[in-house]
Structure 1
Amino acid sequence: MSYIMVDIESDGPIPGDYSMISFGAVLVDEKLDKTFYGKLKPISEKWDPNALAVSGHTREATLQFDEPENVMNEFNKWIKSNSKGRPIFISDNNGFDWMFICWYFHHFINENPFGFTSRRLADLYCGIEKDTFAKWKHLRKTAHTHNPVDDAMGNAEVLLMMKNEMGLKISLQ
């Protein structure tokens, strides 16, 4: 199994009505040198300027991004060529990130290489600490910039720290 840390940026709260405009992924291994970055053209006329502002992109810029079907096909190929066994989706906020990635995979290419499950980084950390209120974001090495590759990288670094320094039993291939 391979863990793939994912972070997305969107122009609104839900897929379909709003658009995922970019996402980043990092294969979680000791090197953290395999990444994916996708920028997707909006699929809807609806967008929330405040949500979009978080990404640092303008609406005009996003309209020049790549076709979502092409990006999702490329991401699917990247997952299949970089993971061993079943890929495991993991993110900081999988309730949000997962719903966009899952929806886009099924909507545009009729399959999701991650299957139907995902993991949440914060829950793993809270379990290690035996504290559902435990804070972990200070453990990131890469700054949280809202560039989704940077954000996924910082989260992947925390997962590696949990494995290497905190005793999390996890197989990273």
Structure 2
Amino acid sequence: MSYIMVDIEADGPIPGDYSMISFGAVVVEPGLSRTFYGQLRPISENWIPQALAVSGFTREQTLEFPEPEAVMRDFAVWLRGISSDRLMFISDNNGFDWQFINWYFHHFTGANPFGFSSTNLGSLYKGLAKDTFVTFKHLRKTKHTHHPVDDAKGNAEALLTMKEELGLKIRL
């Protein structure tokens, strides 16, 4: 099984009515050298300025991004090159990130290479620490910049630390 840490940026709270404008993915393995970055043209006229501002892009910039179908097909090809084994989607906020990736894959390619499951990094750490009030964010090394590759790398670093230093039993 290969774990793929994913982070997305969007211009609103839900896919379809709003748009995923960028995402990053990192294969969770030592070195964190295998990454994917996608920018996507908005699919909706709806957008929330404060949500978009988090990404650092303007609406005008996002309107010049590539068509989502091509980006999602490229992402699927990249994922197929990772492993013929099962791919596990994991993110800091999988309730948010997963809904966009899943919707975009099904809408634009007809299938999600991750299947129907995802894992939440924060919940995993809370279980490891046996404390629902703790956060894993101090385990990141890469600064959280809201560039999705940076954020996915920081989260992947945290997962590797959980495995290597905190005893999490996980096959990466």
Whether the 8 Å contact between 1:2 and 1:84 is mirrored in structure 2 is no
2:83 is matched with: 83
Unaligned runs of 5+ in 1: none
In the alignment, structure 1 residue 61 sits paired with structure 2 residue 24: no
| Cα offset, 1:84, TM superposition | 4.4
Aligned to 2:143: 143
1:74-112, Cα deviation, whole Å (9 max, x unpaired): 000001101340100000000000000000000000000
| Residue 9 in structure 1 maps to residue 9 in structure 2 | yes
Aligned 8 A contact 1:26 1:156 in 2: yes
Give the partner amino acid of 1:88.
M
User: In structure 1, the residue corresponding to 2:104 is in which secondary structure?
Assistant: helix
Unaligned runs of 5+ in 2: none
Give the whole-Å Cα distance in 2 for the aligned partners of 1:136 and 1:151. Answer: 13
Q: Tell me which amino acid in the other structure corresponds to 2:51.
A: A
Structure 2 partner of 1:163: 163
- Residue 132 (1) aligns with residue 129 (2): no
- What CA RMSD, in Å, does the superposition of the two structures yield over aligned residues? 0.6
Identity of aligned pairs, percent? 69
TM-score, with length taken from structure 2? 0.99
Give the partner amino acid of 1:83: S
Deviations 1:132-153 (A, max 9, x none): 1112111110000000000000
For 1:80, the aligned partner's letter is R
Structure 1 residue ranges (4+ consecutive) displaced by more than 2 angstroms after TM superposition: none
Aligned pairs, how many?
172
- Tell me the SS of whatever aligns to 2:81: helix
The amino acid across from 1:7 in the alignment is D
1:7-86 to structure 2, matched below 5 A, reads 7-86=7-86
Q: Which whole-Å CA distance do the structure 1 matches of 2:73 and 2:30 have between them?
A: 26
Residue of structure 1 equivalent to 2:154: 154
